[in-house]
Amino acid sequence: MFLVATVATGAVSACSRGASSGAAASSTTATATAPAPSPTASTSPGAAASATDETSAPAGFPGNLRTATSDPSSGSAVTVRDIRIGAHPGFDRVVFDVGGRGVPGWNVRYVDEATSQGSGKHIDLPGAAVLEVDITGAAYPSDSGVKEYSGPNPLSSPGTPVVTQVAFDGTFEGTTEAFLGTRTRAPFRVYRLDNPTRIVVEVADAT
């Protein structure tokens, strides 16, 4: 189950696809001025990390290490048009701004290695762990009518204590993939915001 929060469009409208990493960070900070939701992401118990992987979350952070999933709406055809990253008290936030038709889903989990979908090519990311973000119900720009993200890749933001970089791997067979390098395998949560539609991944500052 997940909660959908709606915030004013003006809070996040400053960022466009080609924004620089510095502008991306400031736009993410603007998003944080909206009331912070406390969603519960759908999880897959079979994907839970072992006890030796557990890292305590900051007090009040409702995240964990389990796979977070949500199904897209029927006929969803969305394209990621912007990515923003920024530091916030107790966590780092990565926002995937999408446009197109329907509501996207997601599958977010820690993996042993970042590999490009389709080719299987290794993607280098700094950090001790890799968080894979798959946005489902995705479409190529020719189908969604939305220009795909073409900004800095990999993307980083000065001062984020946990997320080192975000590598955008693009879209393949209905899934848009990205990877977050993290300094530790820290608890995370995933939720959706509307108007405009965004998939938000927050990783606890448990360093």
Written as six digits, the tokens of 146 are 């939305």
Catalogue the long-range contacts made by 119-127 (C-beta closer than 8 Å, 24 or more residues apart).
123/167, 123/169, 123/179, 125/154, 125/164, 125/165, 125/167, 125/179, 125/180, 125/181, 126/164, 126/165, 126/181, 127/164, 127/165, 127/181, 127/182, 127/183, 127/184
Can you give the pTM of this predicted structure?
Answer: 0.74
Q: Given pLDDT bands bounded at 50, 70 and 90, which one contains residue 41? A: very low
Angstrom CA distances, 162 to 37, 125, 183, 184, stand at 21, 13, 5, 7
- Stretch 15-26: mean pLDDT: 35
Rounded distance between C-alpha atoms, residue 89 and residue 171, angstroms = 32
The confidence score (pLDDT) of residue 158 equals: 87
Tokens representing 20? 């620089």
In this structure, what are the phi and psi dihedrals at residue 170, rounded to the nearest 5 degrees?
85, -165
Kindly report, residue by residue over 93-120, the tens digit of the pLDDT: 999 999 999 999 999 999 999 999 978 9
Say which DSSP state 142 is in: H
Q: What per-residue confidence (pLDDT) applies to 147?
A: 97
pLDDT at residue 56 in the model: 57
- Average pLDDT of the chain is 78
User: What is the arithmetic mean of pLDDT over 49-56?
Assistant: 37
pLDDT band at 52 (very low <50, low <70, confident <90, very high): very low
Q: Which domains, and CATH codes, for the chain? A: 4-204 (2.60.40.3500)
Query: Between 82 and 61, where is the model more confident?
Result: 82
